[in-house]
Every structure is written in C-alpha cells, then in structure tokens.
Structure 1
Amino acid sequence: MLPALLPGCLAAPPPPPPLVTTSSTASPSAHLRTLRLPSGLAVSRRAGFGEAARAAATERGAIEEEEEEEEGFPEWGNGDEDEYDHDPEIGDIMGEYFDDPNKAQSRMEERIKKKRHKIVQAKTGSPNPMKVVFNKFDFSNSYIWFEFYHALLPKDVTLICDALRSWHIVGRLGGCNSMNMQLSQLPLDCQRPTYDALEGANTTPTSFYNIGDLEIQDNIARVWVDIGIHEPLLLDILLNALTTINSDHVGIKQVQFGGSEFQNWSEDLKTEEAGYSVHKI
C-alpha cells in the first residue's frame, strides 16, 4: 500500500554516472591537480591547498636563508658543530637546549660552578703599592733590584722573565722613543688622529743595548741593564708593567734602580742550596 501512497519515493536511486577518463591507462595521479608557484616550483595537490601553502612557506624560508647569508648572518649546521669536538660536554648541553631549555641551563650553571677556578681567577698579587727607589742609576751600566714578599714560584719566575724580555725587545727596536709621541700628544677629544710619517722617520732613534740574566736569591732578584741613552720613557713602561704584576700576580715590595748592593744580597751565595738561581732573559 505504501508504494501506492508514495509513488517514486521508495524507488531505488539511479546508479552514478561512470567516470570519464582521457586514457584507458589512467593512473591515480590523474586525480591530482598541479599548482605552479611563481618561482616555477611545481606542487602536485589533491583537492585541498594545505600542502601547497606549506610548500610555498618552505620556499619563502629558503629565500630568507639566502638573504641572511648575503647579509652575513651565520648559517646553522654548516660545520659549526665541529667546534663541539673540543668540548663534548658543551655539545651535549647545547643538544638538549631545544628539547629542555631549563635542564640545559641547569647543567650549564653546574658546569660553571665546577670550573669557576679555571674561568675566573682571583688576583694573587699584593694590595699594597710597589715602592720605587732610585740610587745613582746609570742608564748605561746599572742593576735593577726587585724585592718580593715571598720566594718566587716557577710560574712567577717565568712571568718576570717574560716581562723583562718583552721590555727589552720593544726598547731594542726603538719603540720607547719619547721624541716621537705624536699620537699621545693629541687632544683627548680628537676624533680623527693623523700621523706624520716624515716626522717619525726623522726623529733621533733610540735603542736598548743590552740586558743580563735574572739572578735570584730567595725573595731578592736583580738584572743588569745597559740602556745606552737617557730615556726615562723606558723606565715608565717597565714600572707600568711591574705595577700590574704586583697587584694581579706577584707581590713586589720594592724596586730599586741602581746601586751595587741591596738588602741582604750576598755575592758569595752562588749555589742552588743557598737559594740562588739564574734565568736567561
């Protein structure tokens, strides 16, 4: 009875129309739609555009990376990771940073605490200013005497010898010439300093003729010098360096220029058992 009351409503729907293909060997890729980006990058898509948008974003990222390289920004992953070979622990910490920044920060702080003595070194010198005395100092033939607060350690001896050696080299090359101080005589607010090469070449040259070995007896040391000419700038440079050594590295109680005797120095003590040593400058 229902078919009579509802004619056509209960009839079976017609079958769907057959698919039309351009070729009898059509592949699944025939349903794909091809989008061509402005740069010529072809992206095969189905009905949606999400994948095309991602491809466009990827291309934009590549362009931005090229621009960063042109501007001089560092490129990640271009061999920089090789630097971690020098310190594998740093490489391990940096590898965890993107996954767990808090953990990486904690590990870095713990590492700094453990190695603080290597990173930040406390001053080992003296808080007291170094006393400077002149005793008939002759620029061409005199001793320079040093009195330290304690007997020198091997590293302290190395530091003093290096300082004296550097001082001698600069002086021997004529670097301590008070007659040619063009830049230091310019006004403090000078923005574009100039240097007269002709004036510098015509200045009377200076030199540092000779220097002896560093001799040490307990906490007393001396070095013989033959500067050759009267050049106080050489002494100023040495005293500036010794001032820093005294405050930061090795406590120097007193420096004396000139004199054949100093404190309890004995010319008869020439053995290692008596605390005597000689170090080449």
Structure 2
Amino acid sequence: MAMVTILYGSNYCNCNWSHKLFNSNNKILHPSPLIVSASSSSNNNDNDAVSTKSGTSARGRRLLKVREEKQQREYDRVHKYPSWAKVLEDACKDDNELRAVLGDSIGDPELMRKRVEERVRKKGRDFSKSKTGSVLAFKVTFRDFNPLDSYIWFELFGSPSDRDVNLIGSVIQSWYLMGRLGAFNSSNLQLGSSSMEHPLYDADKGFKVMPSSFHDISDVEFQDNWGRIWVDLGTADYFAIDVLLNCLTALSSEYLGIQQVVFGGRGMGDWEEGMTSPDFGYKYFKI
C-alpha cells in the first residue's frame, strides 16, 4: 500500500490513504501542508528491471555506446577511406608486382602511402617511360634445352612497346656478337682465377686456345607479351647463359619487367606459328 509523507514545517507524519486526517471533532489536524511526497514500497530490483528494459541502466547505456562507436567506425571505414587507396587495393587483384610492393600494408592507407613513396625513391620520379622495371625476380626454367637447337622464351608483364622491343633486341644482339667472337670460352679465364693485386695475362696462351663461338641465332620475335629467339650456341660454353641472365636481370629491374625466362620448349602461352601480322600483336627485332 502506498504511503504519504506530509511535512508541516518541522513536523511530519506518515499515514495510510485508508485513514482520514481528522481529529475526534472532525476537524483537519493540519489544514496547510507544505510538501507532499509519495514513495513506493516496491524494491530496488523492480526499478533496475524497469530501467534495463527501457535502456537507461548503466549497463544498457554502455552497450548502446559500444554499438554507436562500432557503427561510427564502420561508417568512417566505408565513407572516409581514401579513394586512391581503394584503387590500389583493386589493382592488386590483377597485378602481382603491385601486390608485392604493398605487401601487408593493404587496408592501412598511411602504410600503403609509405610503401609507394619508398618504391618511387628507389625507381626515381621519371614516370614518362612507357615501362618501368620489376621489383620481382623473374623465374627461370629449362624444358629439354638443347644448346644447338632450341628456343629461349621471354614472358613480359604486358605487350612490349617499340622501345621495349629495341631494348631487349639490343641486349640479345650484343650477347650474340660477343658469343660469335668467342667471348664465352672457359678455356681462357686467366684473370678470373688470379689475384687482381698483381694481374698477369699471357696473350700467347689466349691466342693458342681453341676458339669457341656461337653458330647461329634468329631474330627476336614477339607475340603480345611473349618473345622468343632460336639459338645454336655452337662451341660456346654454358656460362654464356649466365651472362645472358645477368644482363636480363638488370634489364628487367631497371626498364621493362620480365616475368619469366624459359630455355627450351616448342610453344609458350598463346604463341601461334606463322602469325606475323602487326595487327595481331606481332613485333620483331632484326639481329
């Protein structure tokens, strides 16, 4: 039952609503009450239950705040994520080289920016080149390679420009000319095994060594992003291949980007024999 507390100055009384506030002469005991306050006999647990249901309890307010903060973070991620960072993320799906540059920074715009800036510092700020080098080492494989009758294949990251064809063609041409002149002859490596503090070279010995030279080579051909040359290394030693790979490593890193080099094999990618029309992506460099 509800209780009523009536205050009259410094006096107060608690009474049940079922009793009238009269004396024996039916006169009101205190005709001018100053303050009337009501209190419920319900316990605190009932109040907490009502507060919880209405979401105004301390725990409810904390949960509501957590949800609001989570929604705000999600909103910021979707609406405030830099557009350039989103472009880089999408590009990584189809670009292995870009994915290698960004690494584990994807999702962190600030770290992504630092990785790109580091890449720019290493490669310079000249973006006018039609191709840039690759930060990835190209793959090297051998498929029944016969040094007297085999193709050497090059897979680039994209279709080469005329400049790229001239670059890789010039490297192959220089390599062939050195081989044709007997440069790759392990029978005469005098300085390679001597001390350079007091180098000595026996010209007569070098003159008497049996010549070792390339026999033949084809023009450099390209169909889309695949290129090839046919070689007959003749009596040249195998370290001619090491020399070629050293040259291609620098070429790939600094200029045009090579995905892989394959020694041997009759066909690679979508290569089609006899397809020599420039309209279908065919290019060549005359050796």
Superposition TM-score tier, normalisation by shorter sequence: 0.5 to 0.7
Structure 1 segments, 4+ long, off by >6 Å, are none
- Of 122, 145, 150, which aligns to 1:137? 145
Deviation of 1:140 after TM superposition, in Å, equals: 1.1
Gaps of 5+ in 2: 1-123
The superposition leaves residues 201-240 of structure 1 with CA deviations (integer Å, 9 ceiling, x where unpaired) of 2222101111111111000011111111261111111110
Cα distance between partner residues in 1 of 2:267 and 2:160: 20
Q: Is the 8 A contact 2:171 2:247 kept in 1?
A: yes
Counterpart-to-counterpart distance in 2, 1:218 and 1:209:
28
| Residue in structure 2 matching 1:248, options 251, 254, 275 | 254
Whole-angstrom distance in 1 between the partners of 2:273 and 2:180:
29
Question: Do residues 221 (structure 1) and 227 (structure 2) align?
Answer: yes
**Is 1:162 the equivalent of 2:170?**
yes
Any conservation in 1 of the 2:149–2:232 contact (CA below 8 Å)? yes
Whether 1:172 aligns to 2:180 is yes
Identical pairs, percent: 42
Paired position in structure 2 for 1:280: 286
Unpaired stretches in structure 1, ≥5 consecutive residues: 1-115
Give, in whole Å, the separation in 2 of the partners of 1:154 and 1:276: 11
Structure 1 segment 135-214 matched on structure 2, within 5 A = 135-187=143-195, 190-214=196-220
With the length of structure 1 as denominator, give the TM-score of the two structures: 0.54
- The answer to whether the 8 Å contact 2:184/2:236 transfers is no
Q: CA deviation at 1:129?
A: 0.2
Contact 2:165–2:283, Cα closer than 8 Å, also in 1: no
1:127 alignment partner in structure 2: 135
Backbone CA RMSD of aligned residues: 2.2
Question: If you compute each CA radius of gyration, which structure gives the higher value, 1 or 2?
Answer: 2
> How far 1:200 sits from its partner (Å)?
1.1
User: 1:234-266 CA distances to partner (integer Å, 9 max, x unpaired)?
Assistant: 111111000000100010000011111112212
Query: Following superposition of structure 1 onto structure 2, how do residues 1-281 of structure 1 map, counting pairs within 5 Å?
Result: 124-187=132-195, 190-229=196-235, 231-281=237-287
Q: Which has the higher contact order (CA 8 A, sep 6+)?
A: 1
**Contact preservation (8 Å) 2:219, 2:286:** yes
- SS of 1:223's equivalent? strand
Quote the residue 2:74 is aligned against.
none
